[in-house]
């Protein structure tokens, strides 16, 4: 296993920080820094040295905007290119990818590299989980959201017509390379969507991190503090995942990472995934969860306002742009309930920096939170 800090003095990496996801035999390092090319090249040449084949999965947008990086590391490597966008994270492309790699006779020693946002990461992870009953894969996330969320924790999968991420597997990567230089081509709306998940991490588990985010000027891809912020956010997720890898805890556990997501997923579904980016829907969902927490007597009005202020700093929506009927949102959330054997668990804030799950919240509180968030 490569430990990034050992290389720091020899390589031109600024701010390199590594952490480990502790999952016994499936533990792996996450490297965060600007310019991880040498470290990545080392992993690739390490694979080749032991006669492992390597393969790349990326998308057509990255192929265009990160051409130089792909050429530098993956020239001549068998590459499956997914059309970009959520709708392409599907079974049809999954089969195409399997056929493509099998057609090239790639064997079980293949290491698949996922280079892209959460769509590519989830898709490639699932392709790797199933190919030859499971091959190794490495994540190189390229959106802020995928750096702090989807590349960490091993949830992989594709969408069905019936809903998002309904087919998949837990398949942990061998390593994650979070290179901040990859963010240079990302637009600010996508950057902000990733900030929503970072703010979520502070809210659910670490009030001092939340306060740090409040105190910092608005971050962008060049901000010197960004590596630390990403590292810290990943370490919060790493701790939660290590304690409850497969989300089996009866209360709390990995489900806490869903703060704002029960509402957010319903918002995404009822707007057909077209009006809001995932992080934007989660931003509105977190405000609804905050309002719910206030009604339950956990947090104060001024704390709800602080959450709103921080989200607004990143121009994230804090209420629906166009009203959605409460009934439609409740139906969408009900589908979530079916997935969880009849009980819908809400993640609420006991206080800033401490989330809990509650399965016993009366509908009138939920409706009030939805209305506060702009539903009708």
Interacting residues toward ligand NAD by CB under 6 A: 59, 61-62, 65, 84-86, 89, 116-120, 122, 142-143, 145-146, 149-150, 153, 155, 164-165, 182-183, 185-186, 190, 193, 278
Smallest gap, in angstroms, from Cβ of residue 122 to ligand NAD?
5
For 105, what's the count of Cα atoms within 13 Å in the CB-facing half-sphere? 0
Closest CA to 42 of 3, 9, 94: 3
Closest CA to 173 of 194, 158, 157, 156: 156
By beta-carbon proximity to ligand NAD, the closer residue of 232 and 278 is 278
Active site residue 303: no
Active site residue 89: no
Active site residue 258: yes
Active site residue 246: no
DSSP 342-362: T-PPEEEEEETTEEEEES---
By beta-carbon proximity to ligand NAD, the closer residue of 188 and 305 is 188
Smallest gap, in angstroms, from Cβ of residue 59 to ligand NAD?
5
C-alpha 198/C-alpha 15 separation (Å) is 19
By beta-carbon proximity to ligand NAD, the closer residue of 298 and 314 is 314
Active site residue 164: no
Smallest gap, in angstroms, from Cβ of residue 312 to ligand NAD?
20
By beta-carbon proximity to ligand NAD, the closer residue of 4 and 116 is 116
Smallest gap, in angstroms, from Cβ of residue 28 to ligand NAD?
15
Active site residue 340: no
| Contact between residue 253 and residue 333 where contact means Cβ atoms under 8 Å apart | no
Active site residue 368: no
By beta-carbon proximity to ligand NAD, the closer residue of 146 and 172 is 146
Active site residue 108: no
**Which string of b and e fits 79-117 if b means at least 16 CB within 10 Å?**
bbbbebebebbbeebbeebeebbeeeebeeebbbbbbbb
- Count of other CB atoms within 10 angstroms of residue 208: 10
> Which is the catalytic residue, given 61, 93, 237, 345?
237
By beta-carbon proximity to ligand NAD, the closer residue of 86 and 220 is 86
> Which is the catalytic residue, given 68, 76, 133, 364?
133
> Which is the catalytic residue, given 20, 247, 275, 303?
247
> Which is the catalytic residue, given 73, 261, 294, 345?
261
Smallest gap, in angstroms, from Cβ of residue 64 to ligand NAD?
9
- Count of other CB atoms within 10 angstroms of residue 36: 24
CB-based contacts of 214: which residues, under 8 Å, 6+ apart? 306, 309, 310
Active site residue 31: no
C-alpha 20/C-alpha 197 separation (Å) is 20
By beta-carbon proximity to ligand NAD, the closer residue of 47 and 227 is 227
> Which is the catalytic residue, given 61, 171, 197, 345?
197
Smallest gap, in angstroms, from Cβ of residue 110 to ligand NAD?
21
DSSP H helices in 218-257: 226-243
317, 323, 324, 326: CA torsion to nearest 10: 100
Smallest gap, in angstroms, from Cβ of residue 229 to ligand NAD?
17
Largest CA distance in the chain: 62
Give strand pairing partners of 140.
115
Active site residue 73: no
C-alpha 113/C-alpha 337 separation (Å) is 35
Angle between helices 188-205 and 278-295 (to 10 degrees): 30
Catalytic residues: 133, 155, 197, 237, 247, 254, 258, 261, 265, 278
């Amino acid at each position: 296993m490569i430990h990034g800090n050992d290389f720091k003095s020899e390589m031109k990496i600024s701010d390199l920080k590594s952490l480990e996801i502790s999952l016994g035999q499936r533990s792996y390092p996450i490297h965060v820094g600007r310019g991880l090319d040498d470290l990545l090249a080392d992993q690739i040449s390490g694979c080749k040295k032991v006669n492992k084949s390597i393969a790349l999965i990326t998308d057509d947008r990255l192929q265009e905007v990160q051409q130089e990086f792909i050429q530098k590391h993956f020239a001549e490597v068998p590459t499956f290119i997914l059309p970009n966008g959520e709708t392409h994270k599907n079974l049809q492309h999954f089969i195409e990818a399997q056929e493509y790699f099998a057609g090239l006779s790639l064997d079980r020693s293949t290491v698949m590299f996922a280079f892209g946002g959460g769509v590519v990461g989830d898709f490639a992870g699932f392709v790797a989980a199933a190919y030859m009953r499971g091959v190794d894969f490495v994540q190189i996330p390229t959106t802020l959201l995928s750096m702090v969320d989807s590349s960490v924790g091993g949830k992989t999968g594709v969408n069905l017509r019936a809903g998002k991420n309904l087919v998949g597997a837990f398949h942990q990567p061998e390593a994650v390379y979070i290179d901040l230089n990859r963010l240079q081509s990302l637009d600010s709306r996508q950057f902000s969507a990733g900030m929503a998940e970072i703010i979520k991490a502070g809210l659910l588990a670490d009030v001092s991190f939340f306060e740090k985010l409040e105190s910092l000027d608005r971050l962008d891809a060049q901000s010197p503090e960004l590596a630390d912020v990403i590292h810290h956010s990943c370490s919060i997720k790493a701790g939660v995942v290590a304690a409850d890898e497969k989300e089996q805890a009866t209360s709390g556990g990995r489900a806490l990472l869903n703060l704002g997501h029960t509402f957010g997923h319903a918002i995404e579904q009822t707007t057909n995934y077209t009006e809001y980016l995932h992080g934007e829907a989660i931003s509105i969902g977190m405000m609804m969860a905050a309002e719910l927490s206030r009604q339950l007597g956990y947090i104060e009005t001024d704390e709800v306002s602080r959450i709103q202020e921080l989200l607004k700093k990143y121009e994230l929506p804090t209420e629906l742009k166009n009203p959605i009927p409460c009934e439609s949102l409740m139906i969408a959330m009900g589908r979530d309930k079916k997935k969880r054997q009849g009980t819908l668990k809400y993640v609420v804030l006991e206080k800033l920096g401490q989330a809990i799950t509650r399965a016993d919240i009366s509908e009138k509180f939920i409706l009030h939170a939805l209305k506060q968030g702009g539903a009708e």
